[in-house]
A and B are shown apart, each in its own frame.
Chain A
Amino acid sequence: MAAVFQGLGAATAFSVSNSLDSRKFLVSSRKSLSARKASFPVVRSDGSVVPRSNARVRRAEQLITNAVATKPDSSAASTTSKPGHELLLFEALREGLEEEMDRDPHVCVMGEDVGHYGGSYKVTKGLADKYGDLRVLDTPIAENSFTGMGIGAAMTGLRPIIEGMNMGFLLLAFNQISNNCGMLHYTSGGQFKIPVVIRGPGGVGRQLGAEHSQRLESYFQSIPGIQMVACSTPYNAKGLMKAAIRSENPVILFEHVLLYNLKERIPDEEYICSLEEAEMVRPGEHVTILTYSRMRYHVMQAAKTLVNKGYDPEVIDIRSLKPFDLYTIGNSVKKTHRVLIVEECMRTGGIGASLTAAITENFHDYLDAPIVCLSSQDVPTPYAGTLEEWTVVQPAQIVTAVEKLCQ
């Protein structure tokens, strides 16, 4: 156990073992890149340096060809020989949660329908039977007060995980999250820690309507004192859940309604992802594409097309929405000199807007072109399927934007 956690201090998020067989190997779509120059080593986000080899063995990447639906592992032929186990994203969250609850009796869950019902997205299924009603607490529909309750309990030393059935409902608890959760450590001069995790699904789903398709990361991002992370794969979902629970700071973990059924093989051994690190999804050279949560899959879909057209995008899943991992992002900008941000937040005041400002402030000299930010339209999410599709960034738009950027 100690070996795995040492990784935390040395800034790595990923599994320490070098047997990355647990990750899918991506070979087929890279054949067209043989002409590329590879004169410098790739710096992975775990800090280790992977010298480019002619064999082009790409490690630690994952290409999900379809944005949402579950696809069986493409190299499933040798499943039995691969280490690790396969599961869906919500099961990964549950695994992380269960491991942490086993490890520390102070960890408890509270939210609507998390207990007997098992969670509206099955993240907490079975936990109430195992840990009892007090540790997996079914609350009445009173977001303001149960969020406040979780924060008050955290002041005494408990580590509650507060689930919002949909992130949008947490708007009712905004006062508690902003004033009490974010600021108490500061206004008490460091006396109180608020080690809560506030999690829940957000984002645009399948015709859920305007009020159930909100992206709260843009509202919460200026609250001082909180950390925000967004998970996108089963691997980082489990890792970020565990890291968030162990963190002494209040962490808001953004999940996405449409990603709960993603399947992936994750390691058997215990691991944690760093809360402040971004994930290098696909190293490249021509353009840096920054994204998070569900848009990662739209980007990867667009990347396939781009690669066929001869571009080499570098895709980074920023994961940490507050604070931004400007180290990884900066290294990428210095390499490619072009940035495209693809996000699901609204155009105005979203994560993309802040990220654009941060990159411009810090890396302006390295940019060859203005930063392009693709976000959702500034409209309430409509119900009609076609309209809903148009509010959110689609892969075709990403391809067009990259082509334009790389001219």
Chain B
Amino acid sequence: MESIGVLMACPMNTYLEQELERRFNLFKFWTVSDKTQFLKAQQNNIRAVVGNATAGADAELIDALPKLEIVSSFSVGLDKVDMVKCKEKGVRVTNTPDVLTDDVADLAIGLMLAVLRRLCESDRYVRSGKWKKGDYKLTTKVRFTGKTVGIIGLGRIGMAVAKRAEAFSCPINYYSRTEKPNLKYKYYPSVVELASNCHILVVACPLTEETRHIINREVIDALGPKGVLINIGRGPHVDERELVSALVEGRLGGAGLDVFENEPHVPEELFGLENVVLMPHVGSGTVETRKTMADLVLGNLEAHFLNKPLLTPVV
């Protein structure tokens, strides 16, 4: 398979890159200065694209690669892949479901605890030497146990978040496109109503045209000055401008954010806020899981080129 051309959309994982280089004819898109020229020159060689949450295969790229057979995403979210175009052209698409569910859910809970219990602020307080100088300001830390958690999207990740939060005696409410039968969690038919009925709101749904800016001014107002937003979905789920002004003005109680509208750009207004915890898009970011995800990408590509059933196809 060393002659098969694979285009890697952006840097994502050393092990994956090395393995793709070893097994295929790997093209690293980010090292190319004139991308249009490059695509013209290589269009008959590239049969696969490996993308992730940052860069995938949009309509333009798919159109530029007439020999494209498969897009294998190093992510579970497929918002960077033009699925309609892929279906149209018969291009297969795979992602990495299940293997990252636990890590993303763990991070969601970690962010909740970090925001409510001011973990990062406390750590900074000790590191700066302030603890030695005087009493710790005994303010603003809130108990996590028993707080109502509202989950947007009760798929694999949403359910995993619910399961963990339940161990802290948190009542679980949710919003989903359709109500799920036989669940002990309480369903709300709109995000605004969900936000009015929880202390901590978690975004755990896929990014689509419908869910873009699903967290808007109205939802933020409903969540309120004691409410906390946790985003482990995609940056564009949240109207970031509205979020920033709400946090700066104290109209929202706090936020734990792993994703942003224009990564790697993070709004600077958030840097000085102790009720905000910021992560560099590492929901699935553990050594173990990234390796498992990489193996799944490689496994899907090999299966495809050996005419075997794909491991985790979406189309």
- Do A and B come from the same complex? no
